[in-house]
Every structure is written in C-alpha cells, then in structure tokens.
Structure 1
C-alpha cells in the first residue's frame, strides 16, 4: 500500500513569520499583505511581537487576494541563557491575551494549544536552544529550519540541528522556512516559505494542514509528490542537482546529477528512526520535507 505524503492537494504558498508597524516592522499590515500577494503568495501570518506596548493581533484585512492568518510572536521569560523565548503562533483567535504568561513559557504553550493555535520555535540557532530546552518548554508543532532575517542579523539561519535532534528523540515536529520580514531596507522578504496542502483556502484548513504536517518548506524548488511504500520513499520534484535523504545519526543517502526530477530511497537503513528529504538546485536553492518516522 502506498501512503501519499505530498501531492494530494494543490499547495498554497505562505509565510508564517512577518512583522508590521504594529511592532518593529516598517510597513503597515495592509502594505505587507499587498507585497506578499503581489509576489504570488496565497496566505500570510502577520506575527508582531507581543511585548509592551503590546500590539493588537492583526485578525482582519481589507487586502483582497491573500488569506490573512492571525498570529503573533510571544516572548515569555526565559531560556536557560536568560533571554526571552521567541515563539510563533498562527491561528490565534481575536482577543487572545498572553499577558499572564510573560514569566511562564510552559503555561504559554498550554494556553496556545487550548486556543487551537499552531506553534513554532523561531530562529532556534539565534536563541541558542537545544532539544532538551524544547522538551521542557512543552509540545510545539514545528521549528524554523530556515529564517531569512537571520541571514542579515546574525548568520544563524539553520535550525535543522534542532529538528533532527527532536526527530531522533521520537518527536513528530515539522520544519518551516520563513522570512521573518521587517522591510527595513534589508532584503528579508520573499526568500523562504511553506507550501501547504490545505483542503481549501481558509484559516482553519491551513492551520489543520500545518498541524498534520501536510507541507514542505522551500526557497524555490518544488516537491511535487512524496509517497511511502513498505520499503521505499518516492519523490518527484522540479529539476535539481542533488537529492539528500537524511536520518538519525550519520544515516544518509544522496543522489547527484543533472536535472534530477525523481528518486527512490530504500528505507532499510532508516528503520526505527526517521527520514527527511532535502533537494538543492544548481544555484543553491533548497526545499525540505518534514521528518518522516519509519
């Protein structure tokens, strides 16, 4: 029997981490939405910093042609380094108030789950957090495995070290690529996104697909189909120069060539752990599947 992981529904392109003038961004919410709509995005989460003066969560829009996902970036104290956490939540209901959890990160996670939000760890390398930190924080749905803003802030763009460590410990946690756009003159927008296979173009459908892991992250190349049989992972994609399958420890398979558009990866060496796919174009753009436990 074949299990179809991707390629079932036409995907929606979206960014899950962006800021506006309601916190430290340089464009109004409507201007941010207009930019992403004109760039070909289907949805956007405006995730302004929920610190004093605490902004209202952007829950409505007058911009046609793009779906607004209500969200926020929350900063309870503190990580083991003494810094505030950076926690992204999408699908946050109107009137959501996290003030009572400014000093209680685990309580915030419980509060977000009770509100049925999707929860992610922002730029984990920039926070210096590890798998034990996240386990103590509480259950999250994803970590940012690529953050474009970090490329211009601290060059700590890669969060796969955390996603891999969590997958190795048996956690079913996805990986998202985001802009974390501020529009402050740095080119921090339009470089990392998710392709979500939602059943329709609504907030509930997008959040549901994110929670179910029905998406992949990208900087450009497409994963057109991903399926699992009893002994093989099958991939179809747009032309790339390299396809990598990574798993627990040093477990890896790679396929290198010109204009690769498909691969079949035997699962035998990944058994009892997980497998995830990275594809890379000749210009260095990548796309990533979520970890798949096998």
Structure 2
C-alpha cells in the first residue's frame, strides 16, 4: 500500500481535524481594494468524465467567457487524470457536443475511428488547466463529488483542490456516512499538506438528509443553500423544510446548544447540461460564490472561504459587507431598474431549540427534519433599499442576511425564483463563549 494511503489510514484512526475553525465572522469589512479582490466561481460542475454532456475544455471556456474567475470540476467519484477514450455517439452530449468541440478547438481534438465508432480522447484536468489558467484572471481547480448513499438515499459531497480520488466511505447511518467522508478528506489534507475543503451537496435531493443528520457532523463547515439543479427541492415541500430553513436549524443548534462552529451556505450550479440554454435542465450560470481574497489561487480562495469572507448568489451582486461586534451591514451593487429587499435573519436566545420528531401512521419516527419553533430563523429586520444595517439587541445567537432583487432569475432552477444573495452568518452577543473558540 502506498505511503500516502497508510498516512490516511493513520489519520482517520486518530480522528483529528485539520480544517480551520474560526469565530463566525471576526470584525471585518469585505470590500474590494487594498490588495483584495472579489472572485466569482462555481464549485459544482459535471462533464463527460461522469454524467455531464460536454467536454472539460468546452465547459471551462463557457465559464471563462461568462465572466467567472474560477471553476471547480467535481465529477462523480472520478478525477480526470487517466487516459480515457469515449465513443462520440454514446456520450450524453453526442454529436452536438463533438461538433461544437471541433469548432472551438480545431487543432486540439484527438480522435480515432469514424462513423458510429468515432472516439475522442477526453482531455485530462492538467491539460485543460494548463491551457486555460491565467494568473489573476482565471483558475481551474480539481475536485470530486464523492457520491455515496445510505440505504439508497443519495449522500453527495464535493471536495475542492483534491490530489487523489476518495472513494465513498459508507456508514451505518446518514450522519455517519457524511462524517466518514469528511474524515477521509481531512486525512488527505493532513497527509499531503494541500489545502482542501469539503461541502455537503443538495440536502433535499431525494430528501435524503435532515437537519439532524447534518448539525452534529464534525469538520463539516459548508453546505449548498442554493443548488441550480431543478430536482433538488431548494424550497422543500409540505413535509420537508427548504434549504434555508435547514440552515437556520443547523446554525441555531450548533451555536445555541452544541457549541459547534458555524455552517456556511454556498450557491452552486450543479451543471450537467451545456446545450440548449435556457431550458429546464441542470444548466450553468444559476448559482455561484463570490470570494474576497488577496490572490486567485486555491490556497487563497480556501482560506477566505474557511473564514467566511464570501457571499453566495443567484444573481444579486454585493459591493460591501461589514461585520463588527455591534452588528452587520450590507451594501448592494445595484442594477438600474431593480429594487432590493434586505432581510436580516437570526435566532434569539429565548427561542425554544427543541424539535419535535415526525411520526407516521404506524407511530414510527420518520426520517424527516423535526418541527421547530418559528423563532428559529426569524426575520429580525427588513429593509427596502440598497443598503441596510442590523444592530445587535443582545440576545441573538447569530444573524445572517438575505437580499432579494425585484428581478426574476433569467434561468431559474425553480420557476418564479428571484435573483438573490446570501451573506454568511455572524455570531451574535448571545452565542456561548465556546462557540467562539471551538475546534473540531
């Protein structure tokens, strides 16, 4: 067994954590300038290497040409690092993707055979990165979507800046499956010294993951509050809460009851379909993160993400985010003709944090997020305008902000969605002291 694998096994055995844990937003002003820049990126992308319908290089070109500064490829349980030939006729993109590839990259495509036997060599990540990476302008990052399950329930997690593929780890429960995969990522990061992070994907895909499954996971600090795939139920349904509600339950429990670190919310595409845009498929350009960092490198991006120096968006652009011990302030980079609603969302220390399990007709507890007080994730203040501030009143566990534009999303995952942005939570004055200094 390679030394690297032995180091991973040893690390998992002792159960350490290497991910940076910090207080939920130390006082800071997030604004471009003085060596800091905003970098827009997508952290969930699929290609012909798994179940996407286009080639790595074509996808990289699309995001670059749409004004993104970074992109993470996250194909299912595979890294684009081996020699792989595919029959054009049998790829999801078929002849359409092939013809577009030949047009965009006339002297790049390696092929063999003809007719129904025509094959193309899939370019590896390093080849595409060498062609597209442009210091300070555009960056491709290698990732993997670890696609696991528990009794058929899909449990998917994206790893960013990965070095070696991590196979699904499994577990005796949904919670344990998530935690085992997190530990495998931690182990690789520790063994290699390479900065990398992991995030939980689309918790409502198949309604596989409840707030209770997620809230006690050690080492997990990111999840998708918005996913652009039309089948992931961002808004939930009559029985299952939406992802924002899950976020608030997790935050309230981790901060108010468990003394655990913050959970940050990401927005992503989960792109699979790159032709016939717009349509009702899982397409690019629906959700992204905007990270404030001092340079466009994986290391700088990961450091900023781990410290909450970013916001998530499905269309709204922010100019400035200020956090201090007294409150939270947001300023929108407004688009002419649009109006904005800024809502400050949080949970107060007087709120009952105990949830009630849901039982079926047989009296058995169902695998559904418990029912909690409406005080968890209540709107504490609402402002119509392009700038707003929330001042702590003394009893908040945390406060986050949601900004909604009057403009509809041009290509939404759910019909009728407006363009939005989500500001990461800040610990409030009622947060227990251990929440400020906890290390997993």
TM-score calculated relative to the size of structure 1: 0.87
Is 1:262 the equivalent of 2:387? Answer: yes
Is 1:45 the equivalent of 2:72? Answer: yes
Is 1:190 the equivalent of 2:285? Answer: yes
Provide the secondary structure at the position in 2 that maps to 1:27: coil
Larger Rg over CA atoms: 2
Structure 2 counterparts to residues 164-183 of structure 1, below 5 A:
164-169=248-253, 170=255, 171-183=261-273
| Contact 2:328–2:426, Cα closer than 8 Å, also in 1 | no
Structure 2 counterparts to residues 124-273 of structure 1, below 5 A:
124-128=203-207, 129-135=209-215, 137-149=217-229, 151=230, 153-156=231-234, 158-169=242-253, 170=255, 171-183=261-273, 185=276, 186=281, 188-239=283-334, 240-248=339-347, 249=376, 251-257=378-384, 260-268=385-393, 271-273=395-397
1:71 pairs, out of 139, 143, 156, with 143
| Contact 2:323–2:426, Cα closer than 8 Å, also in 1 | no
Residue deviations 1:111-135 (CA, integer Å, cap 9, x gap): 2023332111111111421222124
Name the structure 2 match of 1:99: 167
Kindly state the Cα deviation for residue 11 of structure 1 after the two structures are TM-superposed.
0.7
Structure 1 residues 59 and 140: CA distance shift in structure 2, 3 A: farther
Structure 1 residues 273 and 105: CA distance shift in structure 2, 3 A: closer
**Alpha-carbon distance between aligned partners in 1 of 2:60 and 2:165, rounded to the nearest angstrom:** 24
Provide the secondary structure at the position in 2 that maps to 1:75: strand
Kindly state the Cα deviation for residue 55 of structure 1 after the two structures are TM-superposed.
4.6
Provide the secondary structure at the position in 2 that maps to 1:133: helix
Name the structure 2 match of 1:113: 186
Structure 1 residues 176 and 250: CA distance shift in structure 2, 3 A: closer
* Structure 1 range deviating more: 278-287 or 40-49: 278-287
Provide the secondary structure at the position in 2 that maps to 1:281: strand
Name the structure 2 match of 1:88: 158
Name the structure 2 match of 1:276: 400
Residue deviations 1:17-62 (CA, integer Å, cap 9, x gap): 0101000001111111100000000000000000xxx454664222
* Structure 1 range deviating more: 135-144 or 163-172: 135-144
**Alpha-carbon distance between aligned partners in 2 of 1:154 and 1:173, rounded to the nearest angstrom:** 20
**Alpha-carbon distance between aligned partners in 1 of 2:379 and 2:168, rounded to the nearest angstrom:** 45
Structure 2: 5+ residue stretches without partners? 1-25, 82-123, 172-176, 190-195, 236-241, 256-260, 348-375, 408-417, 429-440
Structure 1: 5+ residue stretches without partners? none
| Contact 1:77–1:105, Cα closer than 8 Å, also in 2 | no
| Contact 1:23–1:55, Cα closer than 8 Å, also in 2 | no
